[in-house]
Structures are given as C-alpha cells and as structure tokens.
Structure 1
Amino acid sequence: MLRTVRENFSDTVVSSLRTFGRAVGMAQESVVGAVGDLARRELQWREVILQAWRLVTVTTVPAILMAIPFGVIVSIQVGNLIHTLGADSLLGATGGLGVIKQGAPMATGFLLGGAGAAAIAADLGARTIREEIDALHTMGISPVHRLVIPRLVAMVVVAPLLNVLIIFVGVLAGYAVAIGGQGVTPGSYWATFGSFTTTADVWMSLVKALIFGFLVVIIACQRGLEAKGGPRGVADAVNAAVVLSVVSIVCVNLLLTQVTAMFLPTRLA
C-alpha cells in the first residue's frame, strides 16, 4: 500500500514537472515568435483583433459588476476601521490604494483566468479533438504561430485595459460610499487619494495585470492544445486551465506583493 502511494506521488510530481517544462517552452517560443512576427510585420492582426474582441465581450460586464461591490466593501470595511481611529479623511488614500494595488489586478486576473481561460481552452481543445492541430502539423504550420501568438498578443493588450476599467469603477464606487454613507467630504477624499497614490502604484498594478494575463493565456493554450479523449477531454482541459490559472495568479501575486513592499513601499506622492 505504501509503495503504491509512493509510486503514485512520484509519478504525479514527475508529470507536473514535465507539464511545467512544456508550459515554459511554449511561453518562450510564443514570446520569441511574437517579437519576430512584429519585427517582420507578419503578425496576424486580424486574428489578434478578433481574439481581443472576444476577451472584451466575456470580461467587460463581469469586471464592472465585480469592481462595484469590491470598491464598496473596501470603503465600508476600511472606513469603519479608520473611523474608530478618528482619521476619516484618510479613507480616500486607504480605499484607493486597496483597489489599485490589490483589488484591480487580482480581479483582472480572476476574470481572465475564469472567462478568458475557459474560452481559449475550449476553442483550442475543440480544435485538437477535431484533429485540426494535427492537420496544421501535417501542412508544416506551427500551431504556436497560428493560434497561440495572436491570443497572447490579444491578452497582453486587453489585460491592462481591463485593469484600468476596474480601477476606475472601483474607485468611483468607493468614493460614492464614502461621500454618501461615511460622511467624508469630497475634497478630503481626493486630497488624501492624490497624496498617497503614486504613479508607481498604478504602473505596478498594470504590470501585475500584464503578468497575470500572460500566465492565463499560456496555461489555457497549453491545456487546450493537449486536450484528448473526446468532448470529456475538452471539459477537463477547460477545468484544468481555470484552476491552474487561479492558483498561479494567487501564488505570483503573493510574490509580487512581497517584492513591491520591499522596493516600492507606500509613501506620500
């Protein structure tokens, strides 16, 4: 019994490492290929625009619906805390920093890792099951250049835009709650928001969203291209893409937060 458990565990670890290696290889090939296609002006802009539009259509409305309650929750919870400390005027700074530094990039990553990853994995998984990927190999066409790179470029473009949208909606929602329910004056809210929120915070938020989008598209493309077993395989690929994307985003966000806290501590603008 113990031997069987040990063998299963070792097989799982080896399989995970091999999967990770293939993902790293696909990421490297995709980045190098995208740069080369841009330099040679061979990038499939029509496919990029189509994929970007698909991502926008499946994430924009959920992003707004997620940003509003998040901004409200941050404003209420932080507002209650600082109210007990007698620092109501700092609500703009704390609420804005919460949305910009953590809320917006995490919400962006989760939306892209949910709706975006599911759409990409389902599309590529269905193509794999229908043997379209094998047909591309037969014709000498690289699936990475034909299918992965346009989705990668689209995701890199959409992720920061989605992050900006969530920041805008989340900050406005927090502002409305602070003014209407917390008794904060508009002037003090925006004054503290501008004093503590720096351009470095906004740029770091955009960089986080960019990294999360990159992780999502690589994981989703790999899971889709490696789907097997018929329609059940497509469903498994979608499920694996979503779960792995969310877990990767959480782990990478923890690492980036620690690095940011060390090198870019919160300070007055």
Structure 2
Amino acid sequence: MTFSVSPLGDRLFTRRAYGGLVSLGDLFAIGLEALRRTWDVRTWFWEFVDQCAFLARVTTLPVIMVALPLGATVALQIGDLAGQLGAQSATGGAVIVGLVREVAPMAAALIIAGAGGSAMTSDMGARRIRDELAAMEVMAVNPVHRLVTPRMWAASLVSTMLASLVIVSGAVGGFVFNVLLQGVTPGAYFDGALGLLRVSDLVVTLLKAWLFGMISALVACHAGMNCAQSPIGVGRAVNRSTVVAFMLVFAFNYVITTIYFLAFPPEV
C-alpha cells in the first residue's frame, strides 16, 4: 500500500512552513533592533520604569499562589516516596534543588508570558489599530527602540526577581508539608539542599529567568506589532504570542539545561 500527498496539501504545508520561517526571522530582527539602541537609556528609561511596575503588580501574587502549593505538592509526593525508602530527610534537598534548577525560571517565564505578555500584545496591537506605530515612524521615532526595548529589559528584570520569589515561596510550601506534617526536622530539610546545590545552579537559574523574560516580551511585542488591524486580530495575536512564548521557553530551557549538565555533571 502506498500513500501520496496531494499537491494542494503539499502547497499548504510549504506555505505554512515558509510563513513560520519568515515570522521567526522577523522576530529575530526585531530583537536585534531592540538591543541595538539599548545604550540610549534616556529615551526609554521612564517607559522601562512603568513596565517594571506594571509587570511586578500583575505577576507577584500569581507567582506566590503558584509556587506555594507547587512546593507543598512536590514535598508531599517526594516525602511519601522517600519515607518508604528510609530517606525522608532528603526531601528538602530534592524540593529545593528542583525549584532552583528548573521550576523557578520556568514558572517566572510562564507567568510573565501569560499575565504580562498578553497585556503587552494587546497594547501593541491597539497601537497598531490606531496607527500610532505608523505615526511614530512618520515623526522619525523608531517604535522598536521606544516601545520594545524597555519592555524587553523590564520583563527580563522582573522575571529574574520572580525566579527568586518562586524559590523562596516553594521552599516555604515544602517546609510546611515536610516539617510540620511529615515530621522531618528543619535542620535536615535545609541541610539536604545545601549539600546538593552549587553556586553555578543559582547563576544558571537567574540567567535562564533573565533570558526567558526577554523572550516572552519580545514575542508579545512582535505579535502585537504584526497583528491584523481589527479587534479579532488583536485577540488572535494574544493567543498566538502566549503559545509561541511557551514553546520557545521550553525549547531554550531544554538546550540550556542539556549544555549545563554536560559542562557540570550533577553530583550526588
């Protein structure tokens, strides 16, 4: 039995693949253009401050509400398994190491992309509908430098701060379940983490959070600046930017984690 692809389906696949590559190239170009004038801080500093305040306001509480039960759930599951193996005191180390290495940057990036990135896409899309972006170009003001650059740096800074908040909140949630409910001593809970963590783990985590926040903001701005000029186009751009940001964050996290573990193999 042989299978064949119809010419129409082949052309549709080719068109979509070509459109995806063009969109990825445009995204990369906007990112480089936004970074090119980073040194001219006085042109975007106050917009940067406003975006930092906005992102911190809309993401701080959701991150805490996500990290607390997440740390508690991980501690509960690992604590039960470790108790059966007679190593319940290692639960704290497993929880905190997992938070530092993987959970913190991913949770911060996803909250930035979901809560802050959707607002950025809506804002940029509304500016496109009202022809504000075109008006800025007519006045010799580069919209990428004035609007995208501060949002990228604000998202990267807030994402880095949120990663630290995720670690603290998750550790508190794990502490409550592991120490107060499962009977592990506080010293054993934190001693296991200090024995497994390295300074390079924290450095890579903060680097990933910084990079993921910048990627989320860049995707959001690109989707809003290139959406269809209608309210429906803005709504679709918001959905598309969130999905694309999630996919890029997961892909970059896999690559960075793989390179890091090859360079610094985990020690037991």
TM-score tier (shorter) = over 0.9
Deviates more, 1:18-27 or 1:253-262: 253-262
> Do 1:104 and 1:163's aligned partners in 2 also have CA atoms closer than 8 Å?
yes
Identify which of 31, 37, 40 aligns with 2:40.
Answer: 37
Q: What does 1:163-178 align with in structure 2 at a 5 Å threshold?
A: 163-178=163-178
Partner of 1:27: 31
User: Where in structure 2 are there 5+ consecutive unaligned residues?
Assistant: none
**1:44, CA displacement in angstroms?**
2.1
> Do 2:100 and 2:202's aligned partners in 1 also have CA atoms closer than 8 Å?
yes
Distance 2:174 2:67 in 1: 10
Distance 2:16 2:212 in 1: 25
Partner of 1:236: 236
Partner of 1:98: 98
Equivalent position amino acid for 2:129 in 1 = I
Equivalent position amino acid for 1:5 in 2 = G
Extract structure 1 runs of 4+ deviating beyond 6 A: none
Distance 2:226 2:134 in 1: 11
Partner of 1:108: 108
Distance 2:266 2:183 in 1: 25
Equivalent position amino acid for 1:6 in 2 = D
1:17 aligns with 2:24: no
> Do 1:109 and 1:212's aligned partners in 2 also have CA atoms closer than 8 Å?
yes
**1:267, CA displacement in angstroms?**
2.8
User: Where in structure 1 are there 5+ consecutive unaligned residues?
Assistant: none
Distance 1:128 1:152 in 2: 19
1:71 aligns with 2:71: yes
Task: Work out the number of aligned pairs and report it.
Answer: 264
> Do 2:156 and 2:212's aligned partners in 1 also have CA atoms closer than 8 Å?
no
Give the SS at the match of 2:86: coil
**TM-score scaled by structure 2?**
0.95
Equivalent position amino acid for 2:53 in 1 = W
Distance 1:154 1:113 in 2: 13
Partner of 2:207: 207
Equivalent position amino acid for 2:260 in 1 = T
**TM-score scaled by structure 1?**
0.95
Partner of 2:248: 248
Give the SS at the match of 1:223: helix
Give the SS at the match of 2:40: helix
Partner of 1:267: 267
> Do 1:70 and 1:170's aligned partners in 2 also have CA atoms closer than 8 Å?
yes
Partner of 1:222: 222
Give the SS at the match of 1:228: coil
**1:136, CA displacement in angstroms?**
0.8
Partner of 1:56: 56
Equivalent position amino acid for 1:29 in 2 = E
Distance 2:43 2:93 in 1: 42
Equivalent position amino acid for 1:249 in 2 = V
Distance 1:174 1:103 in 2: 13
> Do 1:43 and 1:150's aligned partners in 2 also have CA atoms closer than 8 Å?
no
**1:133, CA displacement in angstroms?**
0.5
Equivalent position amino acid for 2:51 in 1 = Q
Q: CA RMSD in A?
A: 1.3
Q: What does 1:70-149 align with in structure 2 at a 5 Å threshold?
A: 70-149=70-149
**1:103, CA displacement in angstroms?**
1.1
